[in-house]
Structure 1
Amino acid sequence: MTHRLFTGFMLMAVLLLSGCQSRSLTPVETTLQARPLPLDQVSRQSECRSLAELYSSCYVALATWTYAKTEQKATPEELEAAMHAAKARALKLNCPTFWEED
C-alpha cells in the first residue's frame, strides 16, 4: 500500500512539473541544441572551455542580478536557461563536470 501511495505521489509530481516546463526555448538554448557535435578532440576541448565560461558567467550574473546596474540585462530565467543548455551540451560532449560545486 505504501509503495502504491509513493508511486502515485511521484507520478503526480512528475505531471505537475512537466506542466511547468512548457516554456519556449531561449536563443541560447536553441543555438546550442542546433549546433552539430564537433568530431575532432581539439574542437571538443575548445567547446568544453567555451561552455564552462558561459556557465560560470551566467552563474555570476545570476548571483549578482539584483545588484547589476546594467539597463539591458538578461532575466534570471534566461540565465538559468543558458546554464541548463550549457550543462546539457557539455554532457553530450563528455566535458569535465564544471557545474559541480566543491
Structure 2
Amino acid sequence: MASFEEGLLLGVLIGEGHFGGDGKQPQITVRMHTRHARLFQTLLSLCPGSKLYGPYDHGGRHYYQWMVRGDALREQLIPRLDALPLEDIDLHVYERYTDMKQRYGL
C-alpha cells in the first residue's frame, strides 16, 4: 500500500472508525452516508476480504457500513495499523484500537 493509501485509510478510521466486536470476534466498522459510495469502493480495494453492507435507509438516514473482521482483519488490517504511528496521531483512537485488540486477544 502506498503512503497516500495508508494515510487515506488511517484518516477514515480516525474520523469514522469503530473498533469493537460482537462478543465473539473483533471487527472494525465504518458507517457513512451513501454519498460516500466511491470512498467505500476504495476501502474495499485497500482491504481485500472486507465487506460492504447496504445501502440502508433507516429512520431517514441513508448509509453504507464497511466491516473488516476475520482473516482480513487479523492478517491485513491489523499489521498495517500496527505499523503506523496511530498513538502519535490520535491517542483516543489508539486507545480504542488497543482495547479492541486486548479484548479479543489480538
Asked if Structure 1 and Structure 2 have the same fold, meaning a TM-score greater than 0.5 normalized by the shorter chain, the answer is no
Instruction: Tell me which of the two structures has the higher relative contact order, counting C-alpha pairs closer than 8 angstroms and 6 or more residues apart.
Output: 1
TM-score by length of 1: 0.28
Q: Which has the higher strand share?
A: 2
